[in-house]
Amino acid sequence: MRKRLIIFGTGDIAQIAHAYFSNDSDYQIVAFTVDSAYLGETEFCSLPVEPFETVAETYPPSEHSMFVALSYTKLNTLRRSKYEAAKALGYPIASYISSRASVLNNGRIGENCFIFEDNTIQPFSVIGDNVTLWSGNHIGHHSTIGDHTFIASHVVVSGGVEIGEQCFIGVNVTLRDHIKIGDRCVIGAGALLLADAEPEGVYVAQATERSKVPSTKLRRI
């Protein structure tokens, strides 16, 4: 029998979570939940939406698990607070780990993690609670990903890297081996870090500028 699951959220991330859990997990999604102040439609993905304030009465924690499907809003603070609120209600917290991810760290992955396809998680690495790894990342050996962190796609985390809590790591970032990324850091798309990053730092790669030559002048394309 499949385990019964409630998803917190009714946005894009929740819709994506519904697709992944429905097609590649042991869970059966039975409902969604949001705070009553944000309750619009009473149905989402053809399932009922229950106010979070009463969800434990309708779907008791003794019979259901919960997954918080939120993005990195407010540097992951919102996802963290709802994850902690779900735990406080007594819900077992689910994680989704794609069957097409290469997980080689003996399952050292925390609660409420969202691990997409084509991630490679090497031996002796540790993934904390409430971590999102979008598709196609490399998490090197002996690296640690702190709680409540969001890592976008095609990030290379080399061996022995320590990433703190509530960080955001953008697409195509490269982190060299044995560096430390402090808590609440934002590392923008395409950045290359070769040294430690202080907490609450923002690191942004230089954007590509438009050429002065218009495309209509390029004869070889």
In this prediction, residues 134-154 reach a mean pLDDT of 98
Q: Is the pLDDT of residue 40 over 60?
A: yes
The strands making up 150-151's β-sheet, listed across from edge to edge, are: 96-97, 114-115, 132-133, 150-151, 168-169, 186-187, 202-203
Are 193 and 104 members of one domain? yes
Question: Are 175 and 158 within 8 A, CB to CB?
Answer: yes
Locate 181 and state its tokens.
């990324």
Q: Is 47 exposed, middle or buried (0-12, 13-18, 19+ CB in 10 A)?
A: middle
Q: Residues 69-122: pLDDT tens digits?
A: 999 999 999 999 999 999 999 999 999 999 999 999 999 999 999 999 999 999
* Structural domain count of the chain: 2
Q: Is the pLDDT of residue 162 over 80?
A: yes
- Give me the domain span that covers residue 84: 3-88
Are 176 and 103 members of one domain? yes
Q: Is 147 exposed, middle or buried (0-12, 13-18, 19+ CB in 10 A)?
A: buried
Q: Is the pLDDT of residue 24 over 90?
A: yes
Closest CA to 104 of 129, 53, 141, 71: 141
Locate 49 and state its tokens.
């939406």
In this prediction, residues 22-34 reach a mean pLDDT of 98
Are 127 and 160 members of one domain? yes
Tell me, what CATH number does 138's domain have? 2.160.10.10
Structural domain includes residue 188: yes
Where a domain ends, among 56, 88, 120? 88
Are 129 and 52 members of one domain? no
Please tell me the predicted confidence (pLDDT) of residue 146.
98
Q: Is the pLDDT of residue 221 over 60?
A: no
Are 79 and 147 members of one domain? no
Please tell me the predicted confidence (pLDDT) of residue 220.
67
Structural domain includes residue 204: no
- How much is the mean pLDDT over the chain? 97
Which residue in this structure is represented by tokens 């406080």?
88
Structural domain includes residue 81: yes
Beta-bridge mates of residue 61: none
